Amino acid sequence: MRSPSLHRSRIQGSIAGLAVGDALGYPAEFRTRSQLQREIGLEGITGFLRLKDPRFTRPFILGPDHPPGTFTDDTQMSLCVAEALVAAGHTDRDTLMQEMARRFVQWHHSEDNNRAPGETTGIACGRLAAGVPWREAGVPHSKGCGANMRVAPIGLYYEDLDTVCEVARDSSRLTHGHPAALEGSAAAALLVALALRDVPPEQMHAEVMRRCGGRSPDFDACFSRVPTLIAHPPEEVLIDREKGPHALGEGWVAEEAVACALYCFWRHPDDYRAAVLEAVNTDGDSDSLATITGSVSGARVGVEGIPSEWVSEVEHSARLLELGGLLADARLRVR
């Protein structure tokens, strides 16, 4: 049986890990790998940068500048999920989703929502605010990765893996209703839950396919390919699917984001820094890829396995660690 201190470290590591990955990836979003190497250095991004670093040329990310270590809506919404779980406790699903929806709407209307949130999430939050039931609020045909990048707390909170998948799917329904979004959410939460249990990456993939396969052709077609691509370098894999035979995609949609995150983690299962920076320095949705990768890697290596300067310098560091501790305490109480 794992000691309470190690258990706590891993849950805190997942929460801190997703935020650190998110903050590292924020300035990279919409920029190509080659552009990052040309403008920042041959290794690309290797630490926190201000959002509008003067070395960057186009494209310019809209909105205000943010200092190094600032995370995006990916972490903000993950914190909403975590806080809803802690506040609602192990109650019925409807109560939990209403609590989660309330926090999403509150965040959506707050001053903090100035970090390029997804259009689908904004539409759904508007519906939730207008009183649309949570099961009906999500955009039916949207499979953007906005539902997948926020579900790590679900994988940390529940012991039962069936419950992890069911709650993650329901959380997707608040904003994204496409089957690939539902299964991508279940898969992302499940990867965190399995990393917490020290399940090897190959078995993690098999378990996700067993529990999530057969529900979405889009998800199955992308995620099933991950094991065959581990030996291929990221410049061949983390690119648009039309650009090469080994490409998994850029991560803008659900199935690509989760598949790419597992690819990064699988290649570096015991090295948080290497896994997350591989996710950051890509052509696509770098912050979301690094958020999901960071949540999985952090759950495996614990908070001590993340570079200490990143943990201390990421935005709201103390709050992240405190919330991770609350999740750990809540999980232990129901074991």
Structure tokens that stand for 220 in this block: 């199955």
CA dihedral 283, 288, 289, 294 (to 10 degrees): 140
- Are 189 and 82 in contact by the 8 Å Cβ rule? The answer is no
Structure tokens that stand for 77 in this block: 């919404």
Q: If we measure between CA atoms, which residue out of 295, 80, 305 comes closest to residue 175?
A: 80
DSSP per residue, 176-190: B-SHHHHHHHHHHHH
For 60, phi then psi, to 5°, come to -95, 125
Q: Which residues are annotated as a binding site?
A: 72-74, 285, 287-288
Q: If we measure between CA atoms, which residue out of 252, 228, 251 comes closest to residue 238?
A: 251
- Are 49 and 68 in contact by the 8 Å Cβ rule? The answer is yes
Whole-number Å distance between alpha carbons of 216 and 21: 28
> Residue 165: enclosing H or E segment and its boundaries?
helix 161-173
Q: If we measure between CA atoms, which residue out of 191, 184, 189, 222 comes closest to residue 206?
A: 191
Residue with tokens 């690509």: 256
Q: Which residues are annotated as a binding site for Mg(2+)?
A: 72-74, 285, 287-288
Whole-number Å distance between alpha carbons of 259 and 224: 8
